[in-house]
């Protein structure tokens, strides 16, 4: 057998080694619903039909964005897979769904088995923490598409919710209250601007220590994307949550209106929660106006919960670290920051 394919830039042996390295990690996420094993052409999952009367499947696909560039610079690959799973879990959680299984895609210029293993460590950790199965995926070596030493990462999640427990936002009305759940940092959005500020405008290195961040700039930018599943999902069956907004790309201004009736807007009170130092640093360093900052970044709030005033106490008791950040008003379908 010749090595023509290898000379063209694709190493089948490295791909096989990567699969061997990740088998144990993937199997650790399996539960009794998984049929078959890693290596099948398709993942098999026995739907828990007896657990639901009218199950609705909820799905989402996303990526990590240019946060990957920070991981490349630090040569640290064990966090971005974790970010991806948590991001996708939050995206289906906003409709009340619990995750069933997850599939990943890794496209690389060169497959390095140790790098793939680190990525999958993060994927498996995220799946285990969220009660989700890492049921399959694809690792593609594509020289000429991806730069050497770099990769792209994307994932698809499938979850389920009882039809009567679907969270749609349709019941939101004037007088309802917004609670904000804190983020751990930028999560997975705003990195193109953050990198431009830190590495181009300020000419900082990712290993540079900044006292106001109490760590290096790289550590601050790689802070994980938080999952809110363990906090929020136990409340879904109580049906006291009227709406949930995952604060990702588009920030407050674009994400919250996605769950509001056309006849409602929200007023958010700036200063009603502590803003993490990384956001203050970025905003000050580039003189970013508030309107743009709250559209590009999550500014310290990763998930917004909307509920009736009488349910605020129950929600805050269940999620003590939440902050009351605003109210719903009748009128223009918009977000107003005051």
Q: Please, what is the end-to-end C-alpha distance for the chain in angstroms?
A: 69
Tokens of 238: 């109580």
Task: Tell me the HSE value of 106 on the side-chain side, using a 13 A CA sphere.
Answer: 27
Q: State the pLDDT at residue 254.
A: 95
Q: 13-21 long-range CB contacts below 8 Å, 24 or more apart?
A: 14/110, 14/111, 14/112, 14/113, 14/141, 15/111, 15/139, 15/141, 17/113, 18/111, 18/113, 18/116, 18/117, 18/139, 19/139, 21/113, 21/114, 21/116, 21/117, 21/120
Contact between 210 and 150 (Cβ < 8 Å): no
Q: Which domains are assigned to the chain?
A: 4-165 (3.30.1330.10), 177-337 (3.90.650.10)
Consecutive 10-residue averages of pLDDT for the chain (338 residues): 66 75 84 84 90 95 95 94 97 97 94 92 97 93 87 96 96 97 96 96 94 94 97 94 96 95 95 96 96 96 97 95 96 91
* DSSP-assigned letter for residue 75: T
Tokens of 278: 């990384």
Q: State the pLDDT at residue 7.
A: 67
């Amino acid at each position: 057998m010749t090595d023509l394919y290898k000379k063209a830039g694709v190493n089948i042996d490295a791909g096989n080694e990567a699969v061997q390295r990740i088998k144990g990690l993937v199997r650790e996420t399996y539960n009794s619903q998984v049929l078959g094993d890693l290596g099948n052409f398709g993942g098999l999952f026995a739907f828990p039909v007896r657990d639901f009367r009218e199950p609705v499947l909820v799905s989402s696909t996303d990526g990590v964005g240019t946060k990957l560039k920070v991981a490349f610079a630090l040569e640290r690959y064990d966090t971005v897979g974790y970010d991806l799973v948590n991001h996708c879990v939050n995206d289906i959680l906003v409709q009340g769904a619990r995750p069933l299984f997850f599939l990943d895609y890794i496209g690389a210029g060169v497959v390095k088995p140790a790098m793939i293993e680190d990525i999958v460590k993060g994927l498996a950790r995220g799946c285990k923490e969220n009660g989700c199965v890492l049921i399959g995926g694809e690792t593609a070596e594509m020289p000429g598409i991806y730069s050497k030493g770099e990769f792209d990462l994307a994932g698809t999640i499938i979850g389920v919710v009882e039809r009567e427990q679907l969270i749609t936002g349709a019941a939101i009305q004037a007088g309802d209250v917004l609670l904000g759940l804190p983020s751990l940092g930028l999560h997975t959005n705003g990195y193109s601007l953050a990198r431009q500020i830190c590495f181009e405008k300020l000419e900082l290195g990712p290993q540079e220590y900044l006292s106001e961040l109490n760590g290096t700039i790289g550590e601050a930018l790689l802070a994980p994307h938080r999952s809110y599943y363990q906090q929020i999902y136990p409340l879904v069956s109580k049906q006291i949550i009227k709406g949930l907004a995952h604060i990702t790309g588009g920030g407050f201004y674009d994400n919250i209106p996605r769950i509001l009736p056309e006849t409602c807007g929200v007023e958010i009170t700036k200063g009603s929660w502590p803003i993490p130092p990384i956001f203050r640093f970025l905003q000050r360093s580039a003189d970013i106006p508030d309107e743009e900052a709250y559209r590009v970044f999550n500014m310290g709030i990763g998930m917004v919960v909307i509920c009736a005033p009488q349910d605020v106490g129950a929600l805050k008791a269940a999620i003590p670290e939440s902050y009351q950040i605003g109210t719903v008003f009748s009128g223009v379908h918009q977000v107003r920051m005051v």
